Structure 1
Amino acid sequence: MTTSFVQVMLFLALGIGIIILLTAVFRIHAFFALLIACFVVGLGVQMPVATIINVTKQGFGHIMQSLGFIIVLGTTLGVTLEHTGSTRVMANWILKRIGEKKAPLAMSITGFIVGLPIFCDSGYIVLNGLNKSLSRRTGISMIIMSTSLATGLYSVHCLIPPHPGAAAAAGTIGVDYGRLILIGIVVAIPAMLVGYAWARYAGKKFPTDGPAEAAVEMPSKTAPSVISSFLPVIVPIILIGIKSFLTIEAGETIPAWMQLFLITGDPVIALTIGVVLALVAIRSWKKGDIGKLLQEAAEKAGGILVIIGAGGAFGAILAATQVGGHVSKAFNLQALGIFFPFMLTAVLKTAQGSSTVAIITASSIILPLLPSLGLQSETGKLLAVLSMGAGSMTISHANDAYFWVISKFSGLEMKPMLQVYTVATLLMGLVTLLVVFLLSLIYV
């Protein structure tokens, strides 16, 4: 199979265009859009049909092997925290410590913490009632409150596993999950803060309904304690973080305590521990409740897994076309470095709306280009994933489902959403890119 640079680039662009067209315009499920793109690109570069099928199967299977359990367990943890009321307990605890006068900051921090295990759209829906109540009680504009909460959730959703985009990119590029979680949390903090700051600044011009008698919703008597609510989120992060700091040389005798942390620090085991902690937070489960909850989690994870698997298949097809070699010969990518992953992902995100699809697609393209970009080291790969995470923030607008979740649940019109929330996502992406660039100056 001998193909020219022009032929490879033409069908790569056509494949990406098909993904954008089918998902954004025709609302076709991303799994089928990615699968169709596999065949378009493969046939376009004269790859035999049998080879296309085998390569897509291998790519699908590889990404499932590395990510399947993590996505299912991460989804289960999020669903369990929602069901038990732990998210509201955490929100009320943070609000009590920060104060109602700083309610937007409280909701931003709440979104950041709750968003670690819970998808941003689910987290927003769960916390929306508390958010509305605070807006009425404090007299702070709903657009300020909504953007503060939404950007807090969004900052970690785009950067940190077990969220599907970041997890898939880490699996494709070959980045340690523990390092990505720890560094990703640090990088996500400035993104959260700039989202909050812009919400406070730009939201001032939009009116509020004024203070009302409504009180802040408090957790019910059956809700878990504060400690029980936070532990399922904090313990897995600590365990994964400890493992990432433990370095084992070949042939070295491993002490028992280190073996324990190496086992419990595996993301699969750490997330399982988190799920168990979330389940035991409520002692009075009714018969069948746990079964229904786990069924819901498995079904929700299934939809995510098929998208990620198709993304892995698309990446395998791109690798088979040797797109990296073609591009590296045609362009001096070394000069673009950490900026290229951001730009590619930002274009995909802005065009088709899904952060997950954008970063999965981009990671497949970036993988063979890492040497040309000067990002082939372990740290370089980590920074590339974070750069793509920044791009997947940029920008959220009317073709993004999360945009409409915020708008409809908060009762916000298009104008304030675009002027406050959408601009906030642009600033978040740019600030995150700046932080990643500064890290690249230090560590690469």
Structure 2
Amino acid sequence: MLDLIVLLVLVAGIVLVTAKFKISPFLALLGAAFIGAFAFGLPVEEIIPTITESFGKTLGNIGLVILFGTMIGVILERSGAAIAMADALIKLIGTRFPTLTMSVIGYIVSIPVFCDSGFVILNSLRKAIAKRTGVSLVAMSIALMTGLYATHTLVPPTPGPLAAAANLEVDSHLGLLIGLGLIVAAVSALAALLYANTFLKRDIELLPLPEGEVEESYEDLKAAYGKLPNGFVAFLPILIPILLICLASIAKLPGLPFGEGGLAATLNFIGTPVVALALGLISAIFLLRGNGKLERFNTQIADGITISAPILMITAAGAAFGGVLGKSSITTFLADNLATLGIGIAVPFIVSAALKTAQGSSTVAMVTTSAMMLPLLPALGLGSDIGAVLSVLAIGAGAMVVSHANDSYFWVVSQFSRIPTATAYRTLTPATLIQGVSAFVAVWVISLIML
């Protein structure tokens, strides 16, 4: 019982120092690992090796994958490829169902691009389609926000799901995670879309533009990028890694559909997440146009390293915290008690949702929860590879519940949409609750079929 109290105090401490005192999650998680090691009574000689080995192992397993994925996202954002993808999807889907169009665009763009950046990039498009179709700007904001959010927390190579997969030691099954993640994300986006459509014809008062500020039109935004990349080429940095990873997963199926010869070996190699994302990054180079391509490429790669560094450190620190938990007696205590509850896949969802709601960051919620869950998976009936993959998705679903004032994404959407804060609480926050719960329901149904 004492160990459980220690764990609760540690988690509460992580939430307190990150949410109230704005301490870096990296320091909070690493500090929790050291404090927890002493509090749980680990032998002194084992504390440093446990923390450093867990820290280094995770960086070695997932570091390059997160780095390459972030670099691809930066190039897609800076080159105008995200706009080109949006244009291509508008031509394919049309604007007859504007909220559906925005949700689908967000769903695809956020696979490699952070949801915050994706909303900023696509905000002018949201306003342009709303003006053309005469629907509510709030409905369009909810549709875009939730479309982006769906894949942001559920589909690699977005860093959150990658980090959770590394902590739960299923980063070698990313093909399965991507396939199931796309399905769960689609369910969550659809549920949120139905909610967004309840605001289609509502007249909701928005904040006025600041004095002297003029709204940028979608055409002005496109012009700022110069000549946009070809739509097909714009999708390649996303499609190539996903396709290769999925092919490698198929090649490893029990029936060995590609045999055991050179073809299977080649697919297994190029479908390794590091190689697949490296090839995706190479394809992203063709998105750069005009003079100074090499200089822009180097700048964007440097920016990708800068953006990914905190994510890598938080992920590794979370793994260190998880390593300490794994060596402590708390795992036996929780395993014995959680196993009797019979709620299995709901445990990672509930823990992730609690952490997300309390401290605001989806990434921190996913990293911390996955680090805690690894030693508990067998007791929860989730010890198989498919069980661990579904746990990643349950954690991702929890990491959407709920977005409010302590979440930077809440402010990005509300401020760029000019939605008053009180109205945002009544419109945006329930959307993420609906989205997270519906995603978990989808994960639970899949678990009934596959476990």
Query: Which interval holds the TM-score relative to the shorter structure?
Result: over 0.9
- Equivalent residue, structure 1, for 2:265: 259
Gaps of 5+ in 1: 1-5
Residue of structure 2 in register with 1:373 after alignment = 380
Which of 58, 82, 89 pairs up with 2:84? 89
Q: Deviations over 1:253-303 (max 9, x none)?
A: 832222221111111111111111111123424152111111111111111
Residue 210 of structure 2 corresponds to which residue in structure 1?
none
Measure, in 1, the Cα distance between the counterparts of 2:232 and 2:124: 23
User: 2:288 touches 2:297 (CA, 8 Å); kept in 1?
Assistant: no
C-alpha distance in structure 2 between counterparts of 1:160 and 1:331, whole Å: 28
Matches within 5 A, 1:137-152: 137-152=132-147
Equivalent pairs counted in the alignment come to 438
CA–CA separation in structure 2 for the residues paired with 1:49 and 1:138: 66
**Counterparts of 1:25 and 1:290 in 2: how far apart (Å)?**
38
Query: Given the alignment, which residue of 437, 440, 443 partners 2:447?
Result: 440
AA aligned opposite 1:427: I
Say whether the 8 Å CA contact 1:342–1:391 is kept in structure 2: yes
* Residue 76 (structure 1) aligned with residue 71 (structure 2): yes
Q: How far did 1:402 drift?
A: 0.8
Q: Hey, what's the Cα distance between the residues in 1 that align with 2:340 and 2:372?
A: 13
Match of 1:167 among 148, 154, 162: 162
Query: In the aligned structure 2, how far is the partner of 1:162 from the partner of 1:323?
Result: 32
2:408 and 2:100 map into 1 onto residues whose CA distance is: 24
Aligned mates of 1:250, 1:131 — CA distance in 2: 46
**C-alpha distance 203-345 of structure 1, shift in aligned 2 (>3 A):** farther
Please state whether the residue corresponding to 1:275 is helix, strand or coil: helix
Residue in 1 that maps onto 2:275: 269
Output the amino acid matched with 2:337: A
1:41: which partner in 2?
36
| Helix, strand or coil at the partner of 1:158 | helix
Aligned partner of 1:400 in structure 2 is: 407
> How is 1:37-436 mapped onto 2 (pairs within 5 angstroms)?
37-175=32-170, 176-202=173-199, 204-207=201-204, 216-217=218-219, 219-220=222-223, 222-247=227-252, 254-286=260-292, 287-333=294-340, 335-436=342-443
Amino acid at match of 1:98: I
Verify the 8 A CA contact 1:35 1:313 in the aligned structure 2.
yes
When residues 70 and 106 of structure 1 are mapped into structure 2, their CA distance, relative to the original with a 3 A threshold, is same
Deviation at 1:304, TM superposition (A): 1.0
Q: Aligned AA for 2:286? A: V
**Structure-2 change in CA distance of 1:333 and 1:355 (3 Å):** farther
- The answer to whether the 8 Å contact 1:95/1:103 transfers is no
1:307 shift after superposition:
0.7
**Cα offsets for 1:372-411 (capped at 9, x unmatched):** 1111112111111111111111111111111111112222
Question: What do the CA deviations read for 1:31-86 (whole angstroms, capped 9, x no partner)?
Answer: 01111111221221223555322221111101101110011000000000011101
Displacement of 1:144: 1.1
Q: 1:214 to 1:275 in 2, by over 3 A?
A: closer
Distance in 2, matches of 1:409 and 1:164, equals 24
For normalisation by structure 2, the TM-score amounts to 0.92
8 Å CA contact 1:63, 1:309 repeated in 2: yes
Deviations 1:124-163 (Å, cap 9, x if unpaired)? 1111222223333333222111111111110011112222
Cα deviation code 1:93-134 (max 9, x no counterpart): 212332333222111101111111111111111112222233
Judge conservation of contact 1:334–1:374 (CA < 8 Å) in 2: no
Shift of 1:202: 4.0
Change in Cα spacing, 1:21 to 1:292, as seen in structure 2 (3 Å) is same
Cα drift, residue 219 of structure 1? 3.7
Q: Which residue of 1 aligns with 2:211?
A: none
Classify 1:377/1:133 alpha carbon distance in 2 versus 1 (closer, same or farther; 3 Å): same
Q: How has the CA–CA distance of structure 1 residues 92 and 409 changed in structure 2, closer, same or farther, with 3 Å as cutoff?
A: same
Contact 2:90 2:101 (C-alpha < 8 Å) held by counterparts: yes
* Large movers: runs of 4+ above 4 Å: 213-216, 248-253
Runs (5+) with no aligned partner, structure 2: 207-214
Matches of 2:148 and 2:134, distance apart in 1: 23
Q: Is the 8 A contact 1:342 1:388 kept in 2?
A: yes
* 2-structure distance, mates of 1:311, 1:214: 41
